[in-house]
């Protein structure tokens, strides 16, 4: 378990935004936006995704989330939101 449940990853959000802009551009006849795409920075390395830099210990995220679940409902909501707000950007492979 990680705190990014149902939040969508950075790449997924970018792809969804790109698809929505292209769809609206086609519907509204805005030709210059029909191939628009969100440009995300290169995740690591020069031109390729560096898997070794992108790896991380998933148990750390899991342990943090499990710790959040030990409080009352208000504390769980507050602490879970804090995990989501401070969760690092992770790019898809």
**Model confidence pLDDT, tens digit, residues 43-86:** 555 445 555 445 667 788 888 888 888 888 999 999 999 988 88
pTM attached to this predicted model: 0.48
Residue 31: is it exposed, middle or buried by C-beta count within 10 angstroms (0-12/13-18/19+)?
A: exposed
The reported pLDDT for the residue numbered 2 is: 45
Total Cβ atoms within 10 A of residue 11: 16
The reported pLDDT for the residue numbered 3 is: 46
Confirm if 85 and 5 have CB atoms less than 8 A apart. Answer: no
**Model confidence pLDDT, tens digit, residues 23-45:** 999 999 999 999 999 888 775 55
């Amino acid at each position: 378990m990680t705190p990014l449940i149902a939040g969508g990853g950075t790449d997924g959000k970018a792809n969804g935004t790109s698809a929505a802009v292209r769809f609206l551009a086609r519907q509204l006849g805005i030709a210059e936006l029909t191939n628009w795409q969100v440009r995300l920075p290169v995740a690591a390395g020069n031109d390729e995704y560096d898997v070794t830099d992108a790896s991380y210990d998933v148990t750390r995220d899991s342990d943090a989330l499990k710790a959040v679940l030990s409080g009352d409902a208000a504390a769980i909501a507050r602490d879970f939101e804090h995990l989501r707000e401070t969760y690092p950007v992770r790019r898809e492979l």
